Amino acid sequence: MAILVQKFGGTSVADAEKILAAARKAIRAQKQGYQVVTVVSAMGHTTDHLIELAKQIDPDPPAREMDMLLSTGEQVSVALMAMAIHRLGHRAISFTGAQLGIRTDSTHTKARIRSIQTDRIRQALDEGYIVIAAGFQGVTDTADITTLGRGGSDTTAVALAAALRAETCEIYTDVDGVYTTDPRLVPEARRMSRISYDEMLELATAGAGVMHNRSIEFAKRFSVPVHVRSSFSDMPGTLISWMPESRSVPVCGAAAILKEARITVRGVPDQPGNAAAIFSRLGARNIATDMIVQNVAEGGRADISFTVFQEELPAALRVVEETAREIGAEGVNYDENVAKVSVVGLGMAKQPGVAQRMFQALADKGINILMITTSEIKISVLVERDRAVEALRTVHAAFELDKEPPQAEEEARPEELGNDRDRIIGRLHGMEDLVIESICLDETQACVTLSNIPDRPGLAARVFRQVAEREIVVDMIVQSVGRDGKAMMSFTVPQSSYEAALAACRPFCQEIGAAPPTGRPKVAKLSILGTGLKSHIDVASRTFKTLAHSQINVEMISTSEVRLNVVTTGDKGRQALTVLRQEFAEELLDL
């Protein structure tokens, strides 16, 4: 019999009536012929209240006791949900994380799931029970209760669906699906009927707060179709699954993180190891860095800029200022009034001119772009915070995201994944381990650099219009604020287009009084593809460290949920590939 996992979030079990409504959904699914596992969160704002209560006693409570406390929220919900089903005349049995056999590591308050023992659940299902599972919690090898981090019930649900080989995991919530962008910021936002795992992952970290990101990583790792839908209606929601890379729409969604801060380390001596030092120390303090841009070095020194969440700025600055002194950088500056706006789409990898369209739309509104980073399926720009919502709305309109895409697109599992789910599960030490699908080398690209260009709205749009007019395909783009309000931009193009790209930029540089474009006719681009590249925050610093150790300089970098790209000098590609494969040998799946 097929298994269905349904998850009800806090708002969907906020009171007795809602619990009964959720119970009816579970019963209905069972009547339709499914074996049903229902995962529930704590009621309403229970978890927030418990945290508040703890803080009244100790502002920095012991993490183990915090987990002991927080796990009670879900324990209340499962019991009530089981009672509700019972009251409606059906069989149900509730289980805590420990009873479910959810083993985690011992990182209290943000534990990762290692394994799930499904025997007891299966037995209950076979006996006709609806199984009610406590979300958000697990247990260590030494029987201590852990929790999975805020919003972790999504992860419990998808993990159970993976372990039980469920047909689908339904996430019932207070919105009716995943939107093209946040409808509270952009009223034209539209519900998507489908989205791919990678797009959802990118959108979620770009600021779309629908689901716990680790749950999407889980879903992708184990190919679990996830259906996000409303608890308060029966309308279909959004299906998250595999989709063809050749999606016809270049962009499927847009998102913003309104509270970012930019940090620039100026004049870093351009030697391998310096970037590694900065990022590994931030990583060691658990500070996640986002957009990372390193300006190509001039006069033996480079500027390294990156963003962090604004709330982490003070902690990040302390680490960075100390490191900057040690490595002999010239100084550190920052800007805390910035926001990041991103567009995401599998289809953009195969279509030229997508970046140009975004930059042009922003230019037309006079919105200045402070930084740019791109990956294969995402373009992110940093803008001033007070223009961010307007910027989001502008790009939403530019890609016509308010309109239904022309044709319905089908699920397309990548060939090689076929039935590999079991093999992947077998190889993992823990179900949430970092998985690297491949590390590859692209030696076909060249890199063009424009320096000292005035930092004004419309600049990026003009550069890429010139380039697009010559039908040159641009791959990676990075732009950052250099010195004295002058920006610096680098982008990669096919080697065969290198001269044409330089020629396209020359008149423009001349006109604005900037230095002529420079570049390298041959660079090597290394890509690490996988799942968990951001939630395991040391991947970027391990990459830097490994390359630095072999004296390989990183010239450009871009990070995303599913990919980390680094560009090095052309003759270092093979060597870089070898050392990176060695570094990640443990995690690398050779599918």
44 lies in the site for ligand ASP, by CB under 6 A? no
Per the DSSP assignment, residues forming a β-bridge with 378 are 344, 375
Among 136, 179, 306, 491, binds ligand ASP (CB under 6 A): 136
Residue number, 240 or 467, with CB nearest to ligand ASP: 240
* Binding of ligand ASP by 120 (CB under 6 A): no
Q: Which is nearer to ligand ASP, 212 or 396 (CB)?
A: 212
List the single partner that 73 binds among Mg ion, ligand ASP, none, CB under 5 to 8 Å by kind.
ligand ASP
**CA pair distance 527, 549, nearest whole angstrom:** 18
**Strand segments (E) across 217-289:** 226-230, 238-241, 253-269
Whether the CB-CB separation of 333 and 484 falls below 8 Å is answered with no
For residues 413-432, which are near ligand ASP according to CB under 6 A? none
Residue corresponding to tokens 């870093």: 268
Whole-number Å distance between alpha carbons of 297 and 569: 13
Distances (CA, A) of 319 to 267, 286, 287, 309, 480: 17, 11, 10, 15, 21
With 0-12 / 13-18 / 19 or more C-beta atoms within 10 angstroms meaning exposed / middle / buried, residue 365 is: middle
Sign of CA dihedral 199, 379, 432, 136: negative
Based on the shown chain and the rule CB under 6 A, indicate whether residue 42 belongs to the binding site for ligand ASP. yes
Nearer to ligand ASP, 39 or 287 (CB): 39
Establish if 267 lies at the interface with ligand ASP (CB under 6 A): no
Q: Residue 97 interacts with ligand ASP (CB under 6 A)?
A: no
Based on CB atoms, which residue is closest to Mg ion, 41 or 368?
Answer: 41
Tokens 């704002």 belong to residue? 45
Could you give phi then psi for residue 352, rounded to 5 degrees?
-75, 160
The footprint of ligand ASP on residues 144-203 (CB under 6 A) is 150-154
Q: Among 73, 250, 267, 482, which residue sits at the site for ligand ASP (rule: CB under 6 A)?
A: 73
Which residues contact Mg ion (rule: CB under 5 A)?
A: 10, 41
- Dihedral of CA atoms 313, 316, 322, 328 in degrees, nearest 10, equals -90
Least separation in angstroms between CB 451 and Mg ion: 47
Among 6, 12, 47, 238, binds ligand ASP (CB under 6 A): 47
- Is 456 a binding residue for ligand ASP by CB under 6 A? The answer is no
User: Smallest Cα–Cα separation from 199: which of 210, 185, 189, 188?
Assistant: 210
What is the nearest approach in angstroms of ligand ASP to the Cβ of residue 10?
5
Residue 324 binds which of ligand ASP, Mg ion, none (CB < 5-8 A, kind-dependent): none
417: its two tokens? 């994944």
The entry of Mg ion, ligand ASP, none near residue 517 (CB within 5 to 8 angstroms by kind) is none
Determine, following the binding rule CB under 6 A, whether residue 138 of this chain makes contact with ligand ASP: no
**Residue span binding ligand ASP (CB under 6 A) among the ranges 41-49, 334-342, 411-419, 521-529:** 41-49
* Residue ranges binding ligand ASP (CB under 6 A): 9-10, 41-42, 47, 73, 135-136, 150-154
